[in-house]
Structure 1
Amino acid sequence: MKIIAYSYSDPLLETSPDQASWGWEVDQIYQDLGERSQLQQLLNDCETEPANYLLIRRLEELGDTLAQVSDRLNQLEVMGVIVIATEQKYTSEVSKFRVELLNLLQEIQRQQRSRSIRQGHARNRLEASPPPGKVPYGYRRGKGKYTIDRSTSPIVKDFFDNFLLYGSLRGSVRYIAKKYAKKISVTTGRRWLTNPVYRGDTAYQNGEIISDTHTGIISREEAAQVDRLLRRNSRLPSRTASAPHSLAGLVVCEQCQSRMIVTRVNQRYQEQEYLYLRNTNCPQSPKCRAIPYSEILEKTIEIVCRDLPLAVAGMNFPQLDTIKNSLNDKISNQQNILEQLPKLIETGVLDTETAKLRAYKLRTEISQLQAKLAILPPVNLRSVAEAVSISQFWLDLSEVERRFYLREFIRNIDIIRNGKDWDLQVVFIF
């Protein structure tokens, strides 16, 4: 008894299956990648020495059209080869499956139509063309790529600038609503901040990203800062990212392990306002006492000025530089290979289709490496730490500006109580 297997894979959509995945003891395996030359060889071999069984994953692998699939099934049947589709309920020698072949042919037609659409999308990816669908706000479709819409892109740019300045998503949403009458939801604003299109990249439905496909609205450095701010804000309680007070969301009472909130107190018939940090959900009895906001802020600034330079000095910058250099070297190597592809096409080493597929893979790998590089701390962290270790620097800032810098360096602030007295422990993010 002779058993053979055949598989067809489109290089634009998939890779060839593992030869050990059939689950049968197969005498010979025919594999096609892109073209069906091996299928023709299979048919020629069966004319001289017919096999007993042919294993395929799905019937539609036998051709690009329904007519081709039907014709090749008939050829195999005439030669006495029993076809078994391992991923479909079909065996050519079983009569009930032969009856169901009509239903399978309809499924094959649907699958081939779906494959044709996906192939079209895959070819667009090879050309780094934009995916189908609505164009992101701030852009319009040009000749095979996104082009900046000069009437709407300033709104997007101003949105990003405001977020980079204050680190508040909700604040940036309110800002463009007030200045441009452009109303968007917070969810839409978050999508803007994370959308690769605004960074000059194109993202596809399969999750892959190709870098530098068009002009970005923000630079690579600004994109890296946006990502750091989003990661920083994700550690904070909901809504505190846009709170007007710099300590909001950072202070934790060590005694009851609860986060403290900023509360306002006004005396009757007086306009003066007093701020306190209070734990409204304190489980202790008696409850932990509220502490004046200004005292904790003053103490926090004192500790930051004293301890931040020491914390930054303890970081392993040589190791960080090694990681960055390694990533940059890998990016440079991939770019060098990318630049050599046109010469390989001219010399005939690669055909155009293979070169496009290779270029696509190289560009997605470069995008992945750039993403790893972007999440690393900035190289100027030491100089920034020296600047913010001066107390006058903090006194000259507004509360919103202080909020930006405190959250850039601080993970949380622990209040350590000792009766009516208290002390602070500042936990940095590195």
Structure 2
Amino acid sequence: MRVIAYLYSDPLLETPPAADIWGWEVDRVYQDFAAVAQPSQRPQLEALLADSGVVEGCPLEATAPPDYVLLRRLDELGESLDEVSQRLSALESLGCVVLAVEQDYVSYRVREARPDDPNPDIMHTTWRTALMRLSSEIQQQQRSRRLRQGHARNRVKALPPPGKAPYGYRRGKDRYALDRTAAPVVKEFFEQFLLFGSLRRAVRVLEKKYGKRISVSTGKRWLTNPVYRGDLAYQDGGIVQNTHAAILSRDEAAQIDRLLRRNSRLAPRTASAPRSLAGLVKCQACQSGMKISRVTVPRQQKEYLYLAPTHCAQAPKCKSLAYEAVLAEAIEAICRDLPNAIARLTQQMAPAGAPSPHPFNAQIQQKESALDQLPDLVTSGILDQDTADLRAYKLQTEIAQLQQRLAQLPPVNLQEIAQTVAISQFWLDLSEPERRFFFREFLREIKVIRADGEWHIELDFIFFG
């Protein structure tokens, strides 16, 4: 028994499958890859037909055909239903059993080989009905493939995906262009979020100032949408950087990513609470977070703030602490401990002016070097232009992923930042929302340590552990 198999794949749409996917012992595998310029060319399929005894759609009796021909899907036999039908009929007329493993199709010859079949006519009719059903499916798959190939070619050329341009942009000839009316609205949204760290507040400001109403979920999508950072994102998950004018700078985008990551660990209301210590303070004795409580004295017309454990199981319960006292201690501790903490962090970094030793940087440089070599490989004839374009797209998406991960690391100018924030007056001059932003930029948690009726605090910095 002789078994052969045929594979057709488009590298733009899928990773080419391995030749040993069948689960059968196959004598030979013929495999074609779609060419961008001429996707209808299938030289290996033509070789398969010639080896099986088919010339221009006509079988040759002198050539011994294979017993079985394995396919993934029938639509891989051609670009149109007529091509598929002609090649399928030619193979089956030679006595080959064609099996399409992903469509549950088997040639009628398998049924004809059973002389004991009590209803051969019914079986033949059932097979023909199944073939007619598959014909509609083949046409649909071929239309879908042509559409996806068009989108894939646009991806390789870094053209915008189909559909309406995101708010803040309009469609240009081959890239997004800034909408001068809408772009300032989006910019204001980002500035509000960076200033106050509150998504709901930023949404309210847009409605109040510009009359632009968006939902909170839409605002969250804006914060993470690569298009506002000057990049294009595609359905396959790939991102190509620097394709059009950005509304959000790289530094601002990195700050937003850090804020979103840190806010995700906090309760929703805590993330945008007006007080800077909200969600950060934890009692080490009872392992409970501490909430901010207000006490108003009508006669004095004065309000007092306290930090109290949310769920304290101690007996007696841990006492509340004056908010202003904890805030003053936190400012003093951060001014004292932050420079030392950053010094510890920078000990493992390269000297000033030297390239960073972080592996992400080395990987990015390696991929950028490979990207720069592609034009020379095309000129020398080692690569054709289609292959070079596809390789460039893959390298660009890999570089974008590495830079995204690199941006999530602590800021590179921590040493300069430490000199500023280590001054207590810096913190005292900030408003509570501004102070909240900077606290969350550096702190994961503020621990309250109690001993012998006294208390002090310890800081857990965000860039350690």
Give your verdict on TM over 0.5.
Answer: yes
Residue 322 (structure 1) shift: 6.5
Q: Distance in 2 between matches of 1:78 and 1:66?
A: 18
Residue 383 (structure 1) shift: 2.1
For residues 93-132 of structure 1, the aligned pairs below 5 Å read 93-95=109-111, 96=123, 98-99=127-128, 100-132=130-162
Residue 164 (structure 1) shift: 2.2
- Structure 1 length as normaliser, TM-score? 0.94
Q: Distance in 1 between matches of 2:164 and 2:306?
A: 48
Residue 324 (structure 1) shift: 5.3
Of residues 442, 447, 463, the one that matches 1:409 is 442
Tell me, yes or no, if the aligned pair for 1:414 and 1:424 is still in contact at 8 Å. Answer: yes
Q: Deviations over 1:311-365 (max 9, x none)?
A: 1111154447766565445434433443444454455443332232122112112
For residues 24-35 of structure 1, the aligned pairs below 5 Å read 24-34=24-34, 35=41
2:110 alignment partner AA: V
The aligned residue for residue 253 of structure 2 is 223
Q: How many corresponding residue pairs?
A: 430
The aligned residue for residue 375 of structure 1 is 408
The aligned residue for residue 317 of structure 2 is 287
Task: State the percentage of identical aligned residues.
Answer: 57
Q: Distance in 2 between matches of 1:183 and 1:271?
A: 38
Of residues 173, 182, 188, the one that matches 2:218 is 188
Of residues 28, 40, 43, the one that matches 2:46 is 40
The aligned residue for residue 89 of structure 1 is 104
How much is the aligned-residue C-alpha RMSD, in angstroms?
2.1
For residues 9-88 of structure 1, the aligned pairs below 5 Å read 9-34=9-34, 35-47=41-53, 48-88=63-103
SS at match of 1:19: coil
* Higher mean displacement: 343-352 or 251-260: 343-352
SS at match of 2:220: helix
Tell me, yes or no, if the aligned pair for 2:195 and 2:433 is still in contact at 8 Å. Answer: no
1:94 alignment partner AA: V
Tell me, yes or no, if the aligned pair for 2:288 and 2:310 is still in contact at 8 Å. Answer: no
1:55 alignment partner AA: L
- Structure 2 length as normaliser, TM-score? 0.87
Q: Distance in 2 between matches of 1:135 and 1:84?
A: 44
Tell me, yes or no, if the aligned pair for 2:4 and 2:27 is still in contact at 8 Å. Answer: yes
Residue 159 (structure 1) shift: 1.6
For residues 27-426 of structure 1, the aligned pairs below 5 Å read 27-34=27-34, 35-47=41-53, 48-92=63-107, 93-95=109-111, 96=123, 98-99=127-128, 100-319=130-349, 326-418=359-451, 420-426=453-459
Q: Distance in 1 between matches of 2:426 and 2:346?
A: 26
Q: Distance in 1 between matches of 2:93 and 2:444?
A: 74
Q: Distance in 1 between matches of 2:359 and 2:86?
A: 55
2:260 alignment partner AA: L
The aligned residue for residue 8 of structure 1 is 8
* Higher mean displacement: 373-382 or 294-303: 373-382
Structure 2 gap segments, 5+ residues each? 35-40, 54-62, 112-122
Q: Distance in 1 between matches of 2:418 and 2:218?
A: 34
Tell me, yes or no, if the aligned pair for 2:289 and 2:310 is still in contact at 8 Å. Answer: no
Relative to total residues, which structure has the larger helix share, 1 or 2?
1
1:167 alignment partner AA: G
Q: Distance in 2 between matches of 1:420 and 1:267?
A: 26
Q: Distance in 2 between matches of 1:362 and 1:266?
A: 61
Q: Distance in 2 between matches of 1:290 and 1:268?
A: 21
2:87 alignment partner AA: R
Q: Distance in 2 between matches of 1:200 and 1:142?
A: 14
Change (3 A) 1:304 1:311: same
Structure 1 gap segments, 5+ residues each? none
Tell me, yes or no, if the aligned pair for 2:339 and 2:418 is still in contact at 8 Å. Answer: yes
Tell me, yes or no, if the aligned pair for 2:98 and 2:106 is still in contact at 8 Å. Answer: yes
* Higher mean displacement: 365-374 or 31-40: 365-374
Q: Distance in 2 between matches of 1:421 and 1:351?
A: 74
Q: Distance in 2 between matches of 1:155 and 1:78?
A: 67
Q: Distance in 1 between matches of 2:347 and 2:454?
A: 38
Tell me, yes or no, if the aligned pair for 1:324 and 1:373 is still in contact at 8 Å. Answer: no
Change (3 A) 1:325 1:293: closer
Q: Deviations over 1:341-395 (max 9, x none)?
A: 4454455443332232122112112212221221222121122122212222222
Change (3 A) 1:207 1:420: same
* Higher mean displacement: 324-333 or 363-372: 324-333
SS at match of 1:128: coil
SS at match of 1:260: strand
Q: Distance in 2 between matches of 1:399 and 1:78?
A: 82
Q: Distance in 1 between matches of 2:384 and 2:48?
A: 26
Q: Deviations over 1:14-34 (max 9, x none)?
A: 132112221111111100001
